Structure 1
Amino acid sequence: MPHGDDVTTPPAVVPSPRLPHPADSAPLPPLPPLPALPPFPEPAEPRSRGKLVLTGVLALSAAVALGVGAAFIVHDEPLDAPAEAAASIAPAAPIEQANAVLSRQAAALLRGDEKAWLAAVDPRQPKLLARYKTMFRSLRALGVSHFQYQTSIANDKSAAGSLGIFADVAYCLAGDNCVKERGADSAGPPIIAQTLKLKTVKGQWHITSVNNQRRALEHQPVPWENNALATAEGKRVTLVALQGEKDLHRLLPIAEQAATTTDRFAGLVGNPQQRYRIYLAGRKNWKVWYGGIKDQWVVGYALPRNEAGTDVVLNLTKLRNDERLLATTIRHELGHVVTVGGVRRGTRDGTSAMWLKEGIAEYIGWHPRPATASWRRQAVRDAVHSSRPPTSIAVDALGENASAEEGDAFYGLGHFAADCMARKYGERALFTFVRLHLRENRELDPASQEAFGTPFQAVDKACVAWIRDRA
């Protein structure tokens, strides 16, 4: 089953009810860019661990290399250590040296220095150099604004001059809301997982291999890991595809118009977007990017990247030659971006309130056409006139084994429910309800009372009858 918030073509299939979850592991503390300062005799008791603290006029920090990063310890001793101490400074440990190489590489990426970025890679491996060159150029095309390695030792029994490293790469791209640290109410920046091997080459540490599969997270690989990407920039949208995609600029005006429509709804829920990023996946990459989609009927999904934002991925093979379906799909997926994108921890999970999440995305996707114009109308008619018609618009989320007809009816019922609330209480009231329930985690009845001025039970009863009459 697909993951994320999906759009299906007629006849529709069942979308996954799950929204992607943030990475399970917390980011490790930032790595020191340089080897640790020499220790001082009988240091003072540390006043703080995990961050650099300035005490009085001068504070000296010594970075202590750990398997999971570095701790910073404050020293208040005067700088009067014996001269003999300088002669006994131990060379930096391999992990410290490797971390310094990775830190310099990350800094080179952010300042656009391709030569310095590639200096971290084994110069004897042309294929590996080419891969890192592609990664550099794709990340720069996407406007990378944050890139940080967070490492731990993968194998503490490595041979001399060799080191295995588990590296989590925290990153942000242009337009992201880049929360760089994980906290109580934030999952921090998006992360990919790598396994790196580094070796000394002519006395210098270099990356000799990178494996994105051994430790890949659920939604890996991300598009920029292994692909040469090109972008088309509009006023509101960045389209991203493989280099050489002939339709990239032709499709940009369609996406721009869809984004303009969606911007209005973003304002109604109080979640304006800097810009939207949409990936156009060909046949092969559709099955690979962000873990891939294998269901042949799904044509698009929206994938949250923590608070950084939400990426939209479209199945270009299915949408390339159907501009109406393309526009509807883009509006639907951007509808997810503005209504549930960027919510913080504590808000509803992927299955809770799925009827409203998908219903409001369908409402935005088909706007300004009513629910009765949707290709799902027949499935809704069959459902409401069946032997077991729905008794509430807040229907349960789809199960993993739901049929295609059940999935089509589910999306259609959500669309009809949203349309009913807009027509009975006004569109602004509908999106106030969406904001309160989906983004602010208010329960149905308090959200209904504030948005519509009436209990949800009354709204529910009225809309069940409205749908039955119009389907």
Structure 2
Amino acid sequence: MPQARTRPRSAALRCAAALAVPALLTGCGGPGPGPAAAGAVPTAPAVQSVLDRHAAALLRHDETAFLADVDPGFRERQRQVFRNLAQVPLAAWSYRVVRVAAAGDGAGDRALAQVRVGYRLTGYDAADVGSDADLTLARRAGRWYVAADRHDAEQLWDQGPVRVVRGTHSLVLGTDGVGALRGYADAADRAVPAVRRAWGDGWSGRVVVEVPSTAARTDALLHAAPGTYAGIAAVTTGELGGTAGAPADRVVVNPEAFGELSALGRQVVITHETTHVATRAATTAATPLWLSEGFADWVGYGGTGRTARQAAPELSRDVAAGRAPRALPSAADFTPASGGLAQAYEGSWLACRLIAAEWGDARLTALYRAAGTGGSLDTHLRTVLGTGLDDLTARWRAYVQRELA
């Protein structure tokens, strides 16, 4: 389903989807800044020292140290987040203080710290997944404590205790029981070899899947308005054109839409999303959505034996009603509220299926890689396939009629 085309993870989010990278909710102290003179604001180095100890306490699972300098009124919330994170395989957790200033009330007993938060999952992230947070510091009896945080989006551990299932090629994080998550790991483990056969190597060959408990919580993770992803089974988030040093993409599942699918449908979705993970480094703003989404569906449906009519029921109905498409799907056709989202995916899949059938799988993959380099799509089509966009569109229209009529 849709790739969330986001700004780099190093930038403040979003998101459009996927992740694109939600802001971290946790942000609190370790032994707090030392005794302060009346009206003083803690220095950035003092706050940094506190947060360094705080991060170290989280990584060594020391709850007492983690909460040591959290204000009593904020402590229970932070205790819960700490416990929600207990099973998450963290390779790193860090805070970088950007700025410390007096709080707006001017009373001298509160300060505001702007902080960059980062984390990495063991075995999956090559770099920190980062986000911004504002921490409120409160002074009690001459010492400063972290009293609140402010954020724009959620992380999975803000929604409840995170359960973890490890597959051969996958890491699944969810807030439901382990048994409910095993199926996602199994599907991802089947998807990775299929994607490797179609795309080749040059990617990690690993997938991180996040499974919130409801569709509403999926929207929250994606920093989207309620209902934005209703009917969309999963979204892949990450940085377009990301290098090998970028954090791993996340496949974020909408469990309600996903649960309505057949076993085959669920596997197609996970393979589709895994394809987005594999192709991310070659995907840029220049890559047409019909190519990126059609290619992912082409890989997803590979080997399933599904006929065109079975895999494209909405477009089949349109063709039967005399509403066959005249142009390849545009970016606007892929918006959740477009009214023709299903037809956009189905038409894109048929376009990639046509290219593979007439020019071969290798040329389809070569076209995908070429399109992401920028420049004219027509030029890339002529270079890779020996035909231009107008001719491809005409062939595709005839193919749609032939396969779906």
TM-score w.r.t. structure 1 length?
A: 0.68
Q: Alignment partner for residue 277 of structure 1, among 204, 208, 215?
A: 208
What do the CA deviations read for 1:77-133 (whole angstroms, capped 9, x no partner)? xxxxxxxxxxxxxx9953332222112223444455544333342367541341342
Matched position secondary structure for 2:303 = coil
Q: Equivalences for 1:426-437 in 2 at 5 Å?
A: 426-437=360-371
The answer to whether the 8 Å contact 1:108/1:114 transfers is: yes
Tell whether 2:110 aligns with 1:162.
yes
Q: Taking structure 1 as reference, are residues 402 and 110 closer, same or farther at Cα in structure 2, changes over 3 Å only?
A: closer
Q: Alignment partner for residue 92 of structure 2, among 124, 136, 145?
A: 145
Paired amino acid for 1:461: A
The answer to whether the 8 Å contact 2:233/2:253 transfers is: yes
Tell me the CA shift for residue 201 of structure 1.
Answer: 4.6
Q: Distance in 2 between matches of 1:371 and 1:150?
A: 54
Matched position secondary structure for 2:5 = coil
Paired amino acid for 1:451: V
Instruction: Give identity over the alignment, percent.
Output: 20
Q: Alignment partner for residue 355 of structure 2, among 421, 427, 431?
A: 421
Aligned to 2:6: 20
Matched position secondary structure for 1:247 = helix
The answer to whether the 8 Å contact 1:236/1:260 transfers is: no
Moved over 6 A (4+): none
Aligned to 2:130: 191
Q: Distance in 1 between matches of 2:250 and 2:126?
A: 14
Q: Taking structure 1 as reference, are residues 109 and 415 closer, same or farther at Cα in structure 2, changes over 3 Å only?
A: same
Paired amino acid for 1:317: E
What do the CA deviations read for 1:244-280 (whole angstroms, capped 9, x no partner)? 354123543233112322232341xx54224101112
Q: Distance in 2 between matches of 1:353 and 1:192?
A: 28
Q: Distance in 1 between matches of 2:159 and 2:91?
A: 16
Name the one with the larger helix percent: 2
Tell me the CA shift for residue 376 of structure 1.
Answer: 4.8
Paired amino acid for 1:319: F
Tell me the CA shift for residue 314 of structure 1.
Answer: 1.4
Paired amino acid for 2:291: L
Q: Distance in 1 between matches of 2:377 and 2:329?
A: 9
Tell me the CA shift for residue 449 of structure 1.
Answer: 3.5
Aligned to 2:149: 210
What do the CA deviations read for 1:338-380 (whole angstroms, capped 9, x no partner)? 22x2458xx316xx61111211121122122366346452332
Aligned to 1:444: 377
Aligned to 1:288: 220
Q: Taking structure 1 as reference, are residues 175 and 343 closer, same or farther at Cα in structure 2, changes over 3 Å only?
A: farther
TM-score w.r.t. structure 2 length?
A: 0.77
What do the CA deviations read for 1:43-76 (whole angstroms, capped 9, x no partner)? xxxxxxxxxxxxxxxxxxxxxxxxxxxxxxxxxx
Q: Taking structure 1 as reference, are residues 204 and 420 closer, same or farther at Cα in structure 2, changes over 3 Å only?
A: same
What do the CA deviations read for 1:313-335 (whole angstroms, capped 9, x no partner)? 11223434742222111112112
Q: Distance in 2 between matches of 1:369 and 1:418?
A: 16
Name the stretch that deviates more: 419-428 or 459-468.
Answer: 459-468
Aligned to 1:53: none
Give structure 1 stretches of 5+ with no counterpart.
Answer: 7-17, 28-90, 180-188
Tell whether 2:326 aligns with 1:378.
no
Tell me the CA shift for residue 459 of structure 1.
Answer: 3.6
The answer to whether the 8 Å contact 2:312/2:346 transfers is: yes
Q: Distance in 1 between matches of 2:109 and 2:270?
A: 51
Matched position secondary structure for 1:19 = strand
Give structure 2 stretches of 5+ with no counterpart.
Answer: 14-39
Tell whether 2:113 aligns with 1:174.
no
Name the stretch that deviates more: 307-316 or 446-455.
Answer: 446-455
Matched position secondary structure for 1:463 = helix
Q: Equivalences for 1:303-322 in 2 at 5 Å?
A: 303-305=237-239, 307-320=246-259, 322=262
Q: Distance in 1 between matches of 2:257 and 2:175?
A: 16
Q: Distance in 2 between matches of 1:410 and 1:336?
A: 17
Q: Distance in 1 between matches of 2:270 and 2:384?
A: 27
Higher Rg of the two aligned structures:
1
Q: Taking structure 1 as reference, are residues 303 and 228 closer, same or farther at Cα in structure 2, changes over 3 Å only?
A: same
Paired amino acid for 2:98: T
Aligned to 1:264: 197
Q: Alignment partner for residue 358 of structure 1, among 293, 300, 320?
A: 293
The answer to whether the 8 Å contact 1:354/1:397 transfers is: no
Q: Alignment partner for residue 412 of structure 1, among 341, 346, 350?
A: 346
Q: Distance in 2 between matches of 1:249 and 1:376?
A: 26
Name the stretch that deviates more: 233-242 or 446-455.
Answer: 446-455
The answer to whether the 8 Å contact 1:94/1:163 transfers is: no
Aligned to 2:26: none
